[in-house]
């Protein structure tokens, strides 16, 4: 007896009707959505106008080719790296930019805020502080 016959016999028994053979299930093709972490990184990279080549290089150092293959803490680190790189020329003290990032982005997202909105607010805060200092 081959596997196909065994499986068919089991399906018939489970169906409770031995006079009809079960129909072959139809396979449907469902488009696979872009993994949310990949989209998350793309959206933030776009907002920051961060070079794609630098993201690819960072991913290569992690031995992956897309963010969704990383642990969430590594993705958060990538996003923080992109944000702080954006802030590099906009703040006299890097610690200030990082502190604001923690307060305005990390804490806000932990409280349920939208990450892109929080990053936009952080960017605005840094630009306002820089303009006020000039």
Within 10 Å of residue 93's Cβ, how many Cβ atoms? 9
Phi-psi region of 11 (alpha: psi -120 to 50; beta: other; left: phi over 0): alpha
Least-confidence region, from 20-24, 37-41, 57-61, 106-110? 20-24
Please give the average per-residue pLDDT across 20-28, as a whole number: 56
Asked if 125 contacts 100 with a C-beta cutoff of 8 angstroms, the reply is yes
Asked if 74 contacts 62 with a C-beta cutoff of 8 angstroms, the reply is yes
Read off the pTM: 0.70
pLDDT at 57: 95
- Determine the 3-state secondary structure of 50 from DSSP: coil
Give the pLDDT confidence of 117-127 residue by residue, as tens digits.
999 999 999 98
pLDDT at 41: 95
Asked if 86 contacts 50 with a C-beta cutoff of 8 angstroms, the reply is yes
Asked if 67 contacts 78 with a C-beta cutoff of 8 angstroms, the reply is yes
Residues 6 or more apart whose Cβ sits within 8 Å of residue 108:
118, 121
- Three-state SS string across 92-117, please? CCHHHHHHHHHHHHHHHHHCCCCHHH
């Amino acid at each position: 007896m081959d596997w196909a016959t065994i499986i068919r016999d089991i399906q018939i028994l489970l169906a409770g009707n031995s006079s009809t053979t079960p129909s072959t299930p139809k396979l449907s093709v469902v488009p696979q959505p872009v993994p949310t972490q990949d989209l998350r990184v793309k959206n933030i990279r776009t907002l920051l106008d961060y070079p794609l080549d630098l993201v690819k290089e960072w991913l290569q150092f992690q031995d992956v080719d897309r963010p969704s293959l990383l642990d969430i803490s590594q993705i958060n680190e990538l996003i923080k790296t992109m944000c702080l790189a954006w802030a590099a020329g906009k703040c006299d003290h890097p610690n200030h930019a990082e502190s604001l990032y923690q307060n305005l982005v990390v804490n806000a997202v932990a409280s349920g805020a939208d990450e892109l909105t929080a990053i936009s607010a952080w960017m605005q805060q840094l630009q306002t502080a820089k303009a006020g200092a000039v």
